[in-house]
Structure 1
């Protein structure tokens, strides 16, 4: 107990020390334009509270995208696209930008991005080599798996590396907001778990379907080198430092995996290392979160295209309008079909190309996506 109190005292001291440096915030705020509105959730929501914590961009994201690989259909789609291996840096920021738009972005941009994503996913179809079945990135089932791994991982890493668990009332609100966010995808919101117990049951129900194929293990090992997703224009001399940082972040992420997933991935890490790295990372996240100058520096360096979306929410910059609305309300207002019914002609054309003519799917939607998710070109890393 004494050791625990000492650790908590350290975290409190770090937090206070950080706030001493939290002066002249107006200099940071001037860097960012206010959002047009407060998006789907707004200040006071659990989404803003949890998703803006600095662990979301590191361990939360990495945990989600590695666990996702255990779905053979998803892994087949990711491998077929080639983006994660060939354009690790740009794929990371494009995905982070979409997550940020849904979590804290203004409704017009987030709704447009959601619509474009259906087009992008229309090319994510084919035959899964592990199961021999067809995969479809727009499948509601596949999208629900992605959605739940993301929202659960972000919350779990907030608990481990941040302030700890939400209250029961706050967590109920968090999962209710998770269901609202599902309206941005092809998911039926009624299928989204709305409690911790239901989320646990959801993941348990998926266990018989998970498979750690050689490709899934290879992809996971690559993602667990986060230095590949960091800015690539650094001097060569920083290479060893980036590798050390990458190992630290990866170890912290691994410490959150349940044992059965570690066995599937073929990863070993002791309970002692888990505890040490969690304590160290929690101290670091406390320091970053308690000093907005440091927070802004980290986000601006790590995901510069996402910082203009995330930082106004973090800094409390008032939006032009205090309006919030659900994705369904926004889709109706801005004239978009709901994702499950969107771009059916394009999706049918892609199916005909792939399964009928045995051709590669077209890249329709990818170019349009660059305005919202960032460029798709990058330097091959693997």
Structure 2
């Protein structure tokens, strides 16, 4: 129960979240995605799956993606992929990065990410396949060289494994810590085991399927990691003048860093506050995220998915159809046109 003095604030934030989702995410990034049909189609996971349970809490899904993005950014190659192949970093007139974040570019990346992880979770089978095909096409074009001369390739198996591990870790950790009915133990490992289908659909191999395996996968990548200038300049005490929203601002920056594995927290010199303050901060975030969800309820797409299988499913959930190496060659422009 949200304390009475805070109910109006939660309703206000929930209204802003719902309105923002409709105008900035659904209308821009959900075009052509099917959730209401075909009747009986379970998609990749289906009702009763751990993935449906985890991904149906949209505020927590959004927070988990922010956690994953922060962790994956500790890989300098990923940082330079973003700098050189996306609009997320501001650039000067000559196209050189100047260190800031382009708000519109960041919003576009977040919108595409959210539609992908919602659509592959409980969209129709065709929708999940389409989304995976689009992301793979984009990844196939992300190849280049970092300023230190090291080449990068978004299709590299080691990179795919690391990227997958950061995503599943971020989503599962946000769920485990803040969901009102969190999966734990073997039930949480069921989520890790189910979600691997998404990693395979993007070309990943030898992916972790449990929480323990995922932690080991992340830790094993440590020799490849570093604190880039871009990461250091926009976190912790260096964070300045960032508008405070549901997913930004100094408090949310702290909340994201609070989910890092211990070794990653050490990299960014993150230190928890005293136990009393730590509990208070986490309680405040739990009330906020779950208050927003309680006020808005499941998004329309999840309700459509539930109705799609209300009379039962006509098939069992299928593995992604992608066979690595079978995608046609596409230019960046052609890949973007698939979205």
Q: TM-score range by the shorter chain?
A: 0.7 to 0.9
Is 1:102 aligned to 2:105, yes or no?
no
Rate the CA distance shift 1:94–1:193 in 2: closer, same or farther, 3 A. Answer: same
**8 A Cα contact 1:115 1:342, kept in partner:** no
1:157-196 matches, within 5 Å, as 157-163=174-180, 165-188=182-205, 191-196=206-211
Rate the CA distance shift 1:11–1:152 in 2: closer, same or farther, 3 A. Answer: farther
Secondary structure of 2:79's match? helix
Aligned length: 291
1:121-132 matches, within 5 Å, as 121-130=139-148, 132=149
**8 A Cα contact 1:217 1:266, kept in partner:** no
1:85-234 matches, within 5 Å, as 85=89, 86=102, 87-130=105-148, 132-163=149-180, 165-188=182-205, 191-218=206-233
Alpha-carbon separation, structure 1, partners of 2:3 and 2:319: 38
Alpha-carbon separation, structure 2, partners of 1:136 and 1:244: 29
Q: Which structure features the higher share of helix residues?
A: 1
**8 A Cα contact 2:192 2:209, kept in partner:** yes
Give the aligned partner of residue 368 of structure 1.
Answer: 338
Give the aligned partner of residue 256 of structure 1.
Answer: 259
Give the aligned partner of residue 23 of structure 2.
Answer: none
**8 A Cα contact 2:66 2:256, kept in partner:** yes
Alpha-carbon separation, structure 2, partners of 1:68 and 1:244: 17
**8 A Cα contact 1:69 1:220, kept in partner:** no
Alpha-carbon separation, structure 2, partners of 1:50 and 1:139: 28
Alpha-carbon separation, structure 1, partners of 2:274 and 2:54: 26
**8 A Cα contact 1:181 1:327, kept in partner:** no
Gaps of 5+ in 2: 5-9, 11-33, 90-101
Gaps of 5+ in 1: 1-9, 19-31, 229-238, 297-306, 332-336, 351-361, 370-382
Offset at residue 151 of structure 1 (A): 1.1
Alpha-carbon separation, structure 2, partners of 1:246 and 1:71: 23
Give the aligned partner of residue 79 of structure 2.
Answer: 75
Larger Rg: 1
Alpha-carbon separation, structure 2, partners of 1:288 and 1:243: 10
Of residues 320, 327, 330, the one that matches 1:343 is 327
